[in-house]
Amino acid sequence: MSHELSHEPGRDRVGEIAVCVQRQLESLYALEAEVPVTDFLVPAGTASQLPGGGSRTLVAQEGDFVSVGVVLDDSVGASLARSDPRERLDGSNLGPFTTLTEEVSHFLYLMARARRDRPVTQLELELQGEVDKYLVVLCFQGLEDEGALSERLRELLFVRYELAAGLSPERSERYHEASRLANRYCRFLESRYLKSSRREGLARETRRFFWLGQREKLETIAVIG
């Protein structure tokens, strides 16, 4: 197995934020540190020639060779450069920050699965990305006022979101389903672990969920109700 280095690593503030999110997720899931996601960021000029639009994670595989590229929309970079979420995370930068977090999540999840030669479905990838957005924001807020913050955050991330224009019906439905499922799972985390400050239990559960495949993830969510 090998991974293609998409381009030179970014050096700006947005790149630093992306690596900060990457290390937070690696710590959360007890993963070995990967090379920085900035090594796989695709320059804006190159991204315009690649499939899709906006922020996205691109994957191509030929035999055992896996090529990964991460695209961040210019608007995401501009917003986070103006308002660094490491200093303050609020309504002015929550959207761009969670967009960045989702792409970093996709990158890490694909790398972790590839290293174990495990397949990934699109719904599985999107579901884990939604869960990771929720957990990273909580971590950036210091897990303070856990229950109240969690409930407000779930509303913002999984109910009051808007999809990008121009998505196919299939992709739109997949995103809606991933948000619905993530909301149920994160509500379970909130009630079982966050409101009672059971952080060790939260870590064990989220690490277990991370390594589940799509079928097992859906079964877990079905059981918790």
Q: How confident is the model at residue 144 (pLDDT cuts 50, 70, 90)?
A: low
Give the mean model confidence (pLDDT) for residues 124-145: 88
Q: Tokens 């996205």 — which residue?
A: 56
The CA dihedral of 150, 153, 157, 158, to the nearest 10 degrees, is: 50
Which pLDDT belongs to residue 2?
Answer: 38
As a whole number of angstroms, the distance between CA 186 and CA 181 comes to 9
Give the mean model confidence (pLDDT) for residues 89-106: 94
As a whole number of angstroms, the distance between CA 103 and CA 14 comes to 13
Sign of CA dihedral 125, 131, 134, 136: negative
- pTM for the whole thing? 0.89
User: Strand 2-4's sheet: what is its strand order?
Assistant: 2-4, 65-71, 56-62
More confident residue, 171 or 1: 171
Secondary structure (3-state) at 62: strand
CB atoms within 10 A of CB 110: 18
> What is the residue extent of each domain of the chain?
1-119, 121-225
pLDDT tens digit sequence for 49-76? 877 788 888 887 777 677 888 989 989 9
